[in-house]
Chains A and B, each alone.
Chain A
Amino acid sequence: MTSTLTPATMKPLVLYGSLLGPNPAKVGMVLRSLGLPFEIKEVGFGDVKKEPYVSVNPNGRLPSLYDPNSDITIWESGAIIEYVIETYDKDQKISFPHASKEDWECKQWLYLQVSGQGPYYGQAWWFQFHHPTPNPSALERYQNEVKRVSGVLNKHLTSKKFLVGDKLTYADISFVTWQKSAEKMLNKDGYEIGKEFENVGGWMERLRANEGVGSVLKEQSEGMAKMAEASAAAKKE
């Protein structure tokens, strides 16, 4: 059934979460790269851990994806990406043939992204911007980890354009949003993470040039600018 679906004939997918958040944006980039139609359903911060959203995702986090073409709901950005690729990337635009050596490598990097990049960069973000009391040693732990993971990517990307094979895949795309957060967290006082880890810097540029990735990043910047404006206006009142 799904193999006859095309972007033109399929019902739009439903992506829960705002493109301002790194994990929903990750999925958005994959959907855009495949030209798949989707609509966004935002779920407010105060609503994620309550009904009706916890019936969609008992873990109460974003993103989740509902596919009306199959009546399947998936949560966990990694699982969503695997579902989307297996179901809708039959031409291997951003993937390798299912269960090939390269396909396993893509999954390997995706698992690294969701378990080794996202959560650790996320803790760095937490201790820098959200933890109720300043904790320099905790912050340092996670900032070091941001650099360590960037170093792993950097070394692997030596004389390589992309993570797997010679082609841009969902594995590469999955790292962009959190690597951009790392830039936000660490790029100051003359330091630039993309200069310390040059191969990563080059790779991020290459990925930004991809339409699916670039369009989401653009929307993020615009969304952030709007939020900053609104917050500045509110402060004046």
Chain B
Amino acid sequence: MLKPIVLWGHAMGPNPWKVVMVFKELSLPYEHKYLEIRDMQTPAYEKINPNGRVPAIEDPNTGINLWESGAIIQYLVHTYDKENRVSYSSSPEKFYMEQWLYFQTSGQGPYFGQSAWFNHYHPEMIKTAQDRYKEQVKRVYKVLDSHLVGRKYLVGDKCTVADISFITWFTMVPWMFGDELQALELESTYPNWFAWNERLMARDAIKKTLAEHEKADGRHGE
């Protein structure tokens, strides 16, 4: 019987929920500990993640503690997805899976994040910065859309953590763009992306995670 893996997370932030999706896909027991941003800067949390960010995991089954969602996801599938339910462990698909994970963590997350920052949090409104990151966001949709022509999933012929890792930031886009969302015309401009996203959102583990996210987010700030 596996002991629950501890996940340090945040009610709203998209990255920890990526890990929850993988936990659920692999039916892994976990304990979700929610932090506020200010908690992440404390000496106690710095011991867990010197970068002061979430997610981080502590796995009592192996004694391994990790931060950075990409590394965590690679660790989880290597350790617990022996049946390759949502992963590949053989070449070349395994390397393609890692490639898309690296694209998600370095090319989607940070750019969507800057878009969110300049749209919602930056102390002054800088239109040129907002436009820059909006273009970067659109570019990510375009890259995925063009790769998904004639494909159901990013790697091979099944859903893997490569696909799953992109979902949470896409769910943030309506909030990121507010009234400007309509003008992006996501479904018609990126039809392959759209079909793929719908396919992923229909998965049981994904639906359950998003429901949990919504519930936690609703209590956020209490």
Contact = CB atoms under 8 A, between A and B. Distances in A.
Interface string B118-144: 100011101011001000000000010
Nearest to B111: A119
Given A79-B98, A138-B129, A107 B106 contact: no
Interface residues of B, number: 43
B202 interface: no
A214 B152 CA distance: 44
Contacts of A155: 50
B68 A108 contact: yes
Nearest to A118: B106
Interface string B79-117: 000000000000110011011011101110111001001
Interface stretch (B20-28, B70-78, B203-211): B70-78
B102 A72 contact: no
B7 to A, nearest CB: 15
A58 interface: yes
B95 A107 contact: no
B70 A116 contact: no
A82 B183 CA distance: 39
Contact of A104 (B53, B64, B109, B117): B64
Interface in A99-129: 99, 101, 104-105, 107-112, 114-116, 118-120, 123
A108 B107 CA distance: 17
B190 to A, nearest CB: 13
Nearest to B51: A152
Given A72-B91, A74-B95, A135 B129 contact: yes
A11 B128 CA distance: 46
B110 A120 contact: yes
A137 B124 contact: yes
Given A112-B51, A135-B126, A74 B114 contact: no
B71 A99 contact: no
B126 A137 contact: yes
A70 interface: yes
Given A111-B68, A112-B51, A156-B50, A141 B122 contact: yes
Given A72-B92, A123-B114, A112 B68 contact: yes
B147 interface: yes
Nearest to A23: B106
A82 to B, nearest CB: 6
Interface string A128-162: 00011101011001000000010010011000000
A76 B91 contact: no
A108 B67 contact: yes
Interface in A29-73: 58-61, 70, 72
B122 A82 contact: no
B63 interface: yes
A59 to B, nearest CB: 5
B126 A76 contact: no
B6 interface: no
Contacts of B66: 104-105, 108
A203 interface: no
A70 B91 contact: yes
Interface of A: 58-61, 70, 72, 74-79, 82-83, 99, 101, 104-105, 107-112, 114-116, 118-120, 123, 131-133, 135, 137-138, 141, 149, 152, 155-156
10 contacts: A77-B102, A108-B71, A109-B68, A111-B71, A111-B102, A114-B102, A114-B106, A119-B110, A132-B128, A141-B122
Given A108-B68, A135-B128, 18 more contacts: A58-B143, A59-B107, A70-B92, A74-B95, A76-B99, A76-B102, A77-B102, A78-B70, A78-B105, A99-B78, A101-B63, A104-B71, A107-B68, A107-B70, A111-B102, A111-B105, A115-B109, A137-B123
* A-B complex: 8 closest residue pairs judged by Cβ atoms: A111-B68, A76-B102, A119-B110, A79-B99, A78-B102, A108-B71, A111-B70, A114-B106
